[in-house]
Structure 1
Amino acid sequence: MNKTSELPDDPKVLKALLQAAQTQLSQQEVHIQLKEEVIVRLEKLVADYKAAQYGRKSEKADPDQYMLAFEDLETAIAATQAEAENIAPPTNPRKKRKTNRGKLPGHLPRIEVVIEPEETTCVCGCVCHVIGKDVSERLDVIPAQFRVIVTRRPKYACRACEEGVKQAPAPDHIIEAGLPSEATLAHVITSKYADHCPLYRQAQIYARQGVDLDRSTLADWVGRSANELKPVFEALLGELKKSTKLFMDETPAPVLDPGRRKTKTGYFWALARDDRPWNGPEPPGVAFTYAPNRSGEVAEEILKDFEGVLQVDGYAGYNRLLKRQKSPVALAYCWSHARRKLYEVARNKTAPIAEEGLRQIGELYQIEKTIRGNSPEERLVARQKHSRALIEAFEEWLINHRAKVSRKSPLGEALSYIAKYWNGLIRFLDDGRIELDNNSVERTIRPITLNRKNALFAGHDAGAENWAMLASLIETCKLGGINPHTYLATTLTRIAKGHKQSKINELLPWNFAEQESQGGL
C-alpha cells in the first residue's frame, strides 16, 4: 500500500502490517550484510591474485609454486562467487557468466543423450512436431579405464594326415609373457616422468579400479622399458652433439645411498638444443645425463666430439673444456645470471648502482624481443646496430664502478662476476645464433625439479640414470609438441616388433612426429 488513504483503520491490522514490514526490512539488512561480506572477501582474493600474478617475485622462486598459488586463489574466488550467487541469484538466469569454459576437441567421442518432454500432445489434441532443438556439450571423464586384450591363437591340424600343427606365432612384447601392453608401459612411464606421479601412487590409483599391482611390479616394467629405449636415448644424445650451438646446465639430484642409509647428492646434466629463436633448421631436444658429482670431467665426457658454441652459466667446471689443446668449444655465458647477481643487491632498493645496471641489461633484452625468430644474419645486423653501443656503455659503467666499490661488498662481488665472464657475455654480438641467456635449458630442467620434489630422491644411481634417460625422451617430445604417451607407446611397439638398430634414428621424437604427420605410422 503506497497511499496513506489506503491504510486500514483497524489498529491491530496496522500493527501486523508494521511488524511484517520490520521483519522484511531486517531480512533485507541481513541479506545486504552478507553480500557486503562476500564483496570484501572477493576484493581481498582478487588483490591477492593480482599480487601473485603481477607483483614482485624472487628470481629464485620456482614458477610452479606460483601456479599452485593461482590454483588455490582461483578456486577460492570461484567458491566465493558461487556463494554470492546463492545469496542473490542472477536476475537473468539464462545469461551465462563470462568465463573460460574450455574447448572440447572434435576427436573426443560423443555420447548423445536426448531428453524428451513428458508430454508431446498439444492442448488442442494434435501431436506436436519437432521445430528445433537446443544442444549443449559437457566434458565427462571415465577414470583410468582399463581393459584386457585377450589374444587367441587357434591351432590347425589336418584330419587326413599327421603333417603337424599350424599356429600363428605369438606376437613379441617388451615384457614377454607379462601383463602389460606397450600402451600400458607408456602410461606408467608418462605418469611418472611427465606427470610426476610416483609409482606407489600409481599403484594406489590402479587399486581403486580393482587392478592390484605392486609398486615393485611397476618398477620392473619401467626398468625393462628403459633398457629397450636406451639405444634411442643414445641416438638422441649423438644427434644433439652434431649441432654447432647447444646449451648446458646441471641441477642437483638427491640419490639414496643404501650402504649409508641416507641420501647423497648426484647431478643431472642437461644438454639442450633450441634453434627456434633464430629460426634454425634443427628441431629442439634435450638429453639428461646423470653423474654422481659435478666435476668438470663429467661435462668434458658428455661433450666428447662436440664442436661449436656452448652456452652455460658461470660454473667454473666448464673452463676445463677450454684447457684442451685447440679446444673446439667456445663458451658463451648467460646474461640472466649476471642480471641475477645485480638483482640480489638491488632488491632492497638501497643500491642505485645495481639498479642502473639492471636498467641497462633490460635495454638489451628489449632489443632481443624485437629480433626473436629472425635469421642469424638479421639478428647480427640488429645487434651490431643497437646492442653494441649499449655493451660499450655498460663496459665503461662496469670499469668505473669496480674502481670505486669494495670487491668484498655484495655489489663488488656482483660486478666482479660480470667482469670475470665478460668475453663470454658479449660473444652474442658476433654470432646471431647465440641467445642472451641459457634460459632455454633451464626451462627443460624444471620438470626434473618438480619430479624430484614429488619423489624426494632417486632410489639408486642406476635408477637416476634411467630417470635421466626417460626424462630426455619425454621432455624432447614436449619441446616438439608431441604427445609423450603416444610416442612411447608407438616406439615401444616398434621396438618389440624388431625395429632395426641401423634405423634407430627413425625412432627419435622429431622423426616420429614427421612420420605421424605423413600417416606413416
Structure 2
Amino acid sequence: MDLLNELARTDIDPALLAQVQALFAQQQAKLAEKDFKITALTHELAYYRRVRFGKASEALVGEQRLLFEETVDTDLAAIEEELEGQAPAKPRRKRAGRQPLPPELPRIEHRHEPESCQCGQCGAELVKIGEDVSEQLDVEPARFFVHRHIRPQYACRPCQTVTAALIPPAVIDGGMPAVGLLAWIAACKYLDHLPLYRIEQIAARQGVPLARSTLAEWIGRIGVALQPLADRLAELLRQHDCLHADETPVRQLDPGSGKTRHAYLWAYRSGVHDGGPPIIVFDYQTSRAGAHARAFLQDWRGHLMVDDYAGYKALFAGGPTELACLAHIRRKFFDVHAASGSPVAEEALRRIAALYAIEQQGAGLDPPQRLVLRQQLAMPGLVELHAWLLATQRAVAVGSGTAKAVDHALKRWPALERYASSGTLPIDNNPVENAIRPIAIGKKNWLFTGSERAGRRAAAIQSLFATAKLNGLDPARWLASVLERLPTGPNSQIDSLLPFPDSTQR
C-alpha cells in the first residue's frame, strides 16, 4: 500500500501533507545514500578478499608478502567495521580459536558492583549467585599484564531477576585488548615504524601470542575510530591564516604486479607564530598533482609557505598568498659554496645569516613587537640583499651554479620578502620539513604502504601523533586516554579529544 497516496485521498491539511511528503523524500534520500555506501563497501570488501587470497599475492616474497598481508588484513577489518556501522545492528560474531591469556601474567582486578544492592523492581535485597569474568590484555613498556574485570551477579528471589554492573562500551566491543595495548601497538607501528610482524615477535618474547592478523584487525578498527578526529584536525587547521606545506614521496604496493609505484604524503602545518596549539595534518595521495593541495585547502584563503614546486602555482592564482622559504634559497648557495668555495656564495650566506639572527632576536616577542623589529632591521637587510643579488646577477657567468642560485632567489623575491611586512608570517618552511623528517626516516623500515586505504589511515594517525608531539604530549598516553573516552564521547565534544594541551584532563 502506498501510504502517501492514501494520505493524499484523505482530508488531511495540505500544509501538513506537504511536510509529510518532504520528510518522506528526505528519508528516502538518506536510505538511498546508505544503500549506495553499503554497496560500495561490499564491492571494496570483495576486491580486498580477492587480492588477499588470490594469486596476485603469490608474486610477493619474504618481508614484502608479510607487509602486504598485514595491510590487506587491516583494510579488511576497517571495511567490515564501516559496513557494520551502516547495516542494521546485529550481534558481532564471536571469533573462534582465541588463545587464553597467559596465566603467569599479573592480574589487576576491577570489581564492578551494581549501584544498589536492592532489587530495582521490588526493593528486596539482592543475593550474589555468581560472577561474570572477562579479561583484557594491557601493556606498559616492556611489561604485559592483564586487567581482570569481575562483575558480581545478584539475584532477587521474589522477582527471579538477575542484576549486574553494565559492561562499559569500548572501541573494540568484547575484544581482548585494553586501551593501553592498542595505543602501544599504534605507537610501535606509526611512531617507531615497526611492521606488525615485528610487534608480534616482541610480544612472543614475553610469551604473549599476538597474531599478525589480530594486530591488523585492531589497527584497522583504530583507524576507523580515529578518522573523525583527524578530519576535525584538518578543519581546525584551515581556520589558521598562515600554513606551511610540503610533500614527500612514498612507495605504494601494486599487488597485481608485485612491484611498487610512487605516492605522496602531503603535509600541512599551522604557522609557527600563530596563536593556539600547533597542528600538523598529513594527506595521503597517489600523485604529486597540485590538484590535491587545492582539494585539501578547499576555499581557504591565507598565506601559504611552500617551496618552488610548480604544482602550487595554480593554487596561488585562485586566492592564497604565496610565501617563499629563505632556507631553500640559502641551501642553493650553501651547495655552491660547499662544491667550489665560491666567495659570492659565501657573501650570500653571510647576508642570509644576518636575517636569521634578527629572527632569533624576535623569537620571544609578540607579533606587534616582532613586526617593529622586522621593519627596523630585517627590511633594510632585505633591500640590501636584493640590490646585491641584482648586481651579482650581471657579474657572474650565465649558467653557472652561482648564477642559478642568484636567479632562483630573484625569481622568488616578492614571496620571499613578504614575511617582513608582518609579525606573524614565518621566514622559512623548516617547521613542516621537521615534521616530515621522522616519516622520511621511517620509510627505510616500512619500505612501502600496502594500499591507498592504508596510506590514508597512516596519514590520519600520523597527523594525530605528530600534533600530540608538537603540543608536548606523549602520543601513546594521549591515544590510550582518547580510546578510553571515545566510545562514550558525544560528537559535540570531539574537540576535547584532540591532541592539544590538557585534552586528557577534559
Are positions 1:388 and 2:403 aligned together? no
Query: In the alignment, which residue of structure 2 is the partner of 1:500?
Result: 490
- Which of 230, 235, 238 is equivalent to 2:232? 235
Identity of aligned residues (%): 39
Change (3 A) 1:274 1:195: farther
Query: In the alignment, which residue of structure 2 is the partner of 1:145?
Result: 143
Q: For residues 419 and 302 of structure 1, what CA distance do their matches in structure 2 show? A: 30
Q: SS where residue 332 of structure 1 aligns? A: strand
TM-score where L is the length of structure 1: 0.68
Q: For residues 226 and 467 of structure 1, what CA distance do their matches in structure 2 show? A: 8
Are positions 1:362 and 2:353 aligned together? yes
**AA matched with 2:147:** I
Query: In the alignment, which residue of structure 2 is the partner of 1:220?
Result: 217
User: RMSD between aligned alpha carbons?
Assistant: 1.6
- Which of 266, 270, 273 is equivalent to 1:269? 266
Are positions 1:254 and 2:251 aligned together? yes
The Cα of 1:402 is off from its aligned counterpart by 1.7
Query: In the alignment, which residue of structure 1 is the partner of 2:409?
Result: 418
Are positions 1:312 and 2:306 aligned together? yes
**AA matched with 1:165:** V
Gaps of 5+ in 1: 1-141
8 Å Cα contact 2:283/2:459 also seen in 1? yes
Are positions 1:482 and 2:473 aligned together? yes
- Which of 136, 153, 156 is equivalent to 1:155? 153
Query: In the alignment, which residue of structure 2 is the partner of 1:210?
Result: 207
8 Å Cα contact 2:302/2:321 also seen in 1? yes
Q: SS where residue 502 of structure 2 aligns? A: helix
Gaps of 5+ in 2: 1-139
The alignment covers a number of residue pairs equal to 367
Q: For residues 189 and 284 of structure 2, what CA distance do their matches in structure 1 show? A: 17
Are positions 1:401 and 2:401 aligned together? no
Poorly superposed stretches of 4+, deviation over 4 Å: none
Map of 1:423-434 to 2, 5 A cutoff?
Answer: 423-434=414-425
Q: For residues 446 and 503 of structure 2, what CA distance do their matches in structure 1 show? A: 35
Q: SS where residue 191 of structure 1 aligns? A: helix
Q: For residues 407 and 241 of structure 1, what CA distance do their matches in structure 2 show? A: 42
Q: For residues 407 and 192 of structure 1, what CA distance do their matches in structure 2 show? A: 50
8 Å Cα contact 2:230/2:463 also seen in 1? yes
8 Å Cα contact 2:244/2:269 also seen in 1? yes
Map of 1:17-166 to 2, 5 A cutoff?
Answer: 144-162=142-160, 164-166=161-163
Q: For residues 233 and 373 of structure 2, what CA distance do their matches in structure 1 show? A: 34
- Which of 460, 463, 479 is equivalent to 1:472? 463
8 Å Cα contact 1:240/1:285 also seen in 2? yes
**AA matched with 2:485:** R
Q: SS where residue 412 of structure 1 aligns? A: helix
The Cα of 1:433 is off from its aligned counterpart by 0.9
The Cα of 1:344 is off from its aligned counterpart by 1.1
Are positions 1:182 and 2:170 aligned together? no
Map of 1:347-358 to 2, 5 A cutoff?
Answer: 347-358=338-349
Query: In the alignment, which residue of structure 1 is the partner of 2:57?
Result: none
**AA matched with 1:239:** L
Q: SS where residue 150 of structure 2 aligns? A: coil
8 Å Cα contact 2:271/2:425 also seen in 1? no
Q: SS where residue 148 of structure 1 aligns? A: strand
Return the index of the structure with the highest Cα Rg. Answer: 1
Q: For residues 143 and 314 of structure 2, what CA distance do their matches in structure 1 show? A: 52
8 Å Cα contact 1:407/1:416 also seen in 2? no
8 Å Cα contact 1:339/1:358 also seen in 2? yes
The Cα of 1:152 is off from its aligned counterpart by 2.8
Are positions 1:297 and 2:285 aligned together? no
Q: For residues 477 and 483 of structure 1, what CA distance do their matches in structure 2 show? A: 7
The Cα of 1:474 is off from its aligned counterpart by 0.7
8 Å Cα contact 2:271/2:426 also seen in 1? no
Q: SS where residue 144 of structure 2 aligns? A: coil
Q: For residues 472 and 404 of structure 2, what CA distance do their matches in structure 1 show? A: 41
Q: For residues 424 and 192 of structure 2, what CA distance do their matches in structure 1 show? A: 33
**AA matched with 1:146:** F
The Cα of 1:335 is off from its aligned counterpart by 0.4
Are positions 1:172 and 2:169 aligned together? yes
**1:372-400 deviations in whole A, cap 9, x for unaligned?**
12112111111111112221121111112
The Cα of 1:302 is off from its aligned counterpart by 1.0
Query: In the alignment, which residue of structure 2 is the partner of 1:4?
Result: none
The Cα of 1:298 is off from its aligned counterpart by 0.6
Q: For residues 270 and 179 of structure 2, what CA distance do their matches in structure 1 show? A: 29
The Cα of 1:349 is off from its aligned counterpart by 3.7
Change (3 A) 1:515 1:292: closer
Q: For residues 407 and 333 of structure 1, what CA distance do their matches in structure 2 show? A: 24
Query: In the alignment, which residue of structure 1 is the partner of 2:101?
Result: none
Query: In the alignment, which residue of structure 2 is the partner of 1:283?
Result: 277
